A and B are shown apart, each in its own frame.
Chain A
Amino acid sequence: MTDDLAVVAEDLRVTYGSTRALDGVSFAVPRGTVLGLLGPNGAGKTTAVRVLTTLLRPDSGRAQVAGVDVLADPSGVRRRIGLAGQYAAVDDNLTGRENLRLFGTLYRLRHRADARADELLERFDLVDAADRVVKTYSGGMRRRLDLAASLVNAPEVLFLDEPTTGLDPRSRLGLWDVIEDLVGGGTTLLLTTQYLEEADRLADRIAVIDHGRVIAEGTADELKDRTGGQVLAVRVPREQTDDARRALAPLNPADEVAQADDGTLTLGAPDGGEFVVRAAQALREAGVVLDEISLRRPTLDDVFLSLTARAAPDDPNDEEAA
């Protein structure tokens, strides 16, 4: 392990009863960069964050945060990290200012706690609401306060566990700006998210996690390239989806036909335009009516769907297949 790495996770395993929440997770985050842990609900993202923030001891494996071993010196880790979770963990009955002062005191900032609170209120645009109890805050304001609370100790490594889950699109964009600012200042960030768009925008590198394993890692571009440069997208009548799948599958054995939430079928298209012609032909021969056919640069959604479509059949305890 070198000093250039702010976070190192090595073969982390966590089992809850018979569920393998983490099944040998490894990744690393270089100092001053952002890693996005991307995966669906229940993939193990939050469990990984809980291990790295000392909230949960892994059954096996090693983890280091800010150069400190998580198992050997948890309080050393706690001093150097900030955590903002899925639930905005601030006290509803205290004001924004009181919350930040309390956390400052507990982070042992001593007499500087009050000034630090003022500074963060200013930075997160909460000055006007500073002396109102948090109960009266909007969802976006609560998340901003939660984020401010995680920065009270000027952490070397920041963990954000699904920071925008449940926010309306406008507040989400606002929070993205705030996080981008933060990262611009050189903070190392580990971010978990279910939103590909979020990982694409905020993260330098992305680790795709599913069923407790990292199934792919790279920059957003690298991941997109793995799908073969371009993607064929096809829309057909709902009742013909299965016929279309069967017709398309043999065209690119290297990839799996994936289906997006809106019903669009996608498949890696290695030779671009030629591939569209062959796909159209194969669909006509199968008697499938084409509503729409197109070729595009893959989005992270395509990457994610193609990765998880490939990983799923190997997994014996796949309960989420819906």
Chain B
Amino acid sequence: MTAETQLRPEAGDHEGSDLAWAVRDSWALTKRNLRTIARQPQLLVFATIQPVIFILLFRYVFGGAISAPGSIDYVNYLLTGIFVQTITFAAIQTGIGLSDDLSKGIVDRFKSMPLSRAAVLAGRTGADLVRNFVVILVMIVVGYAVGFEFTNGVAGPVLAIGLLLAWGFVFSWVGAFLGLALSSPETVQAASFPTIFPLVFASSIFVPVETMPGWLQAFVKVNPITLVTDSVRALALGEPFELLPHLAWAAVAMALILAVFVPLSVLRYRRT
């Protein structure tokens, strides 16, 4: 039994600042979630199949009827949009993952443990950030196969990927809130379609905003997804897309979403 005594918790175990523990706990849970994702490759496959279908549909079925602004090739216009779409839909997985943990009682176990309150949420959104990075790389490869190319040097596309990841992280907090507020993973899946689909289509992802009726443009122009998409285009493709003011407004929109959905999710998490 001596061995056991040495393995027990010690007085100094909990020393250290709350923030340092929050980071350590979040990192431990990020690793756990990444392992889970890696062991369910089918999830990653489904997460990429849908955008690939969209690429093929819009590139070859609708693409001929849609023209991109200026002398831009529609495939470049489309793919930059699809990147944003893919990352936006990925937020649903954040919600499903959390909801799954809730329904299986794992969240109860975490809450009965002395770990930092934000860590369960941060560990989930953190792992989804890494998963998003993989998904973006896959999308870029698929894009190149159908004729897409970055046309703004090296720094621009790198920053575009950075912005996509930032958007994915921000929007995954919306997914997290849905996951905590709704009762089951299936409900999260069902609820996300009518909420996220219109947001994605009523944006500049597939079609230039100028082709839409005026009343719709009013909404589309302030849709955060449009702001992010336009910024990604400017970074990835350069001329004729303008970086400012789109990027500034995208940053404002992302800050607003975080300001609303982080506290909402944390509050909801405490009350579950």
On A, residues with C-beta under 8 Å from B are 53-55, 75, 78-79, 81, 83, 85-94, 98, 102-103, 105-110, 112, 115-116, 119, 133, 149, 153-154
Main secondary structure of the interface of B (DSSP, over half): helix
Cβ A153 vs Cβ B9 within 8 A? yes
Q: A102 vs B21: C-alpha distance in the bound complex, in angstroms?
A: 14
Choose among A55, A93, A115, A119 the residue that contacts B40 (Cβ–Cβ < 8 A): A93
Can you give 18 contacting A-B residue pairs, CB < 8 Å? A54-B112, A85-B105, A86-B105, A87-B105, A89-B105, A89-B106, A91-B36, A92-B104, A98-B32, A102-B29, A102-B32, A105-B24, A106-B113, A106-B115, A107-B9, A107-B114, A133-B39, A154-B9
Cβ A106 vs Cβ B28 within 8 A? yes
Min Cβ gap B269→A in Å is: 12
Cβ A116 vs Cβ B7 within 8 A? yes
Nearest to B9 among chain A residues (CB) is A153
Min Cβ gap B80→A in Å is: 34
Chain B positions 6-32 with a Cβ under 8 Å from a chain A Cβ? 6-9, 13-14, 21, 24-25, 28-29, 32
Which range holds the interface residue count of chain B? 20 to 34
Q: A92 vs B100: C-alpha distance in the bound complex, in angstroms?
A: 11
Cβ B114 vs Cβ A149 within 8 A? no
Known: A93-B40, A102-B32. A119 touches B4 (CB 8 A): yes
Which A-B residue pairs are the 6 nearest by beta carbons? Answer: A89-B105, A87-B105, A89-B109, A93-B36, A78-B114, A83-B112
Known: A79-B14, A133-B39. A112 touches B7 (CB 8 A): yes
B110 on interface, CB distance cutoff 8 Å: yes
Cβ B113 vs Cβ A98 within 8 A? no
Cβ A98 vs Cβ B35 within 8 A? yes
Nearest to A155 among chain B residues (CB) is B9
Known: A94-B36, A106-B25, A154-B8. A119 touches B3 (CB 8 A): yes
Known: A91-B32, A133-B39. A109 touches B9 (CB 8 A): yes
In the assembled complex, which residues on chain B have CB atoms less than 8 Å from the CB atom of A154?
A: 4, 7-9
Q: A87 vs B108: C-alpha distance in the bound complex, in angstroms?
A: 10
B111 on interface, CB distance cutoff 8 Å: yes
Q: A157 vs B135: C-alpha distance in the bound complex, in angstroms?
A: 45
Cβ B108 vs Cβ A89 within 8 A? yes
Cβ B105 vs Cβ A78 within 8 A? no
Nearest to B5 among chain A residues (CB) is A154
Cβ B9 vs Cβ A79 within 8 A? yes
Among A79, A91, A102, find the residue whose CB has the most chain B CB atoms closer than 10 A.
A91
Cβ A78 vs Cβ B113 within 8 A? yes
B213-255 CB contact bits vs A (8 Å, 1 = yes)? 0000000000000000000000000000000000000000000
Q: A114 vs B110: C-alpha distance in the bound complex, in angstroms?
A: 19
Nearest to B8 among chain A residues (CB) is A154
Chain B positions 106-156 with a Cβ under 8 Å from a chain A Cβ? 106, 108-115
Min Cβ gap B15→A in Å is: 9
Choose among B29, B109, B114 the residue that contacts A108 (Cβ–Cβ < 8 A): B114
Cβ A54 vs Cβ B3 within 8 A? no
Min Cβ gap A50→B in Å is: 8
Nearest to A153 among chain B residues (CB) is B9
In the assembled complex, which residues on chain A have CB atoms less than 8 Å from the CB atom of B4?
A: 119, 154
Chain B positions 83-113 with a Cβ under 8 Å from a chain A Cβ? 104-106, 108-113
Q: A170 vs B40: C-alpha distance in the bound complex, in angstroms?
A: 32
Among B28, B29, B114, find the residue whose CB has the most chain A CB atoms closer than 10 A.
B114
Cβ A108 vs Cβ B105 within 8 A? no
Known: A85-B105, A87-B104, A89-B106. A55 touches B112 (CB 8 A): yes
Min Cβ gap B70→A in Å is: 48
Known: A94-B36, A109-B7. A55 touches B28 (CB 8 A): no
Cβ B7 vs Cβ A119 within 8 A? yes
In the assembled complex, which residues on chain B have CB atoms less than 8 Å from the CB atom of A93?
A: 35-36, 39-40
Min Cβ gap B156→A in Å is: 38
B26-62 CB contact bits vs A (8 Å, 1 = yes)? 0011001001100110000000000000000000000
Cβ A103 vs Cβ B36 within 8 A? no
Q: A85-B105, A89-B105, A154-B8 are in contact. List 15 more A-B contacts (CB 8 A).
A: A78-B113, A79-B114, A86-B105, A87-B104, A89-B106, A91-B32, A93-B35, A94-B36, A98-B35, A102-B29, A107-B113, A108-B114, A153-B8, A154-B7, A154-B9
Min Cβ gap B48→A in Å is: 19
Cβ B28 vs Cβ A110 within 8 A? no
Q: A91 vs B8: C-alpha distance in the bound complex, in angstroms?
A: 23
Choose among B13, B35, B104, B114 the residue that contacts A89 (Cβ–Cβ < 8 A): B104
Min Cβ gap A46→B in Å is: 10
Min Cβ gap A130→B in Å is: 15
Min Cβ gap B122→A in Å is: 13
Q: A110 vs B39: C-alpha distance in the bound complex, in angstroms?
A: 26
Min Cβ gap A12→B in Å is: 17
In the assembled complex, which residues on chain B have CB atoms less than 8 Å from the CB atom of A102?
A: 28-29, 32
In the assembled complex, which residues on chain A have CB atoms less than 8 Å from the CB atom of B13?
A: 108-110
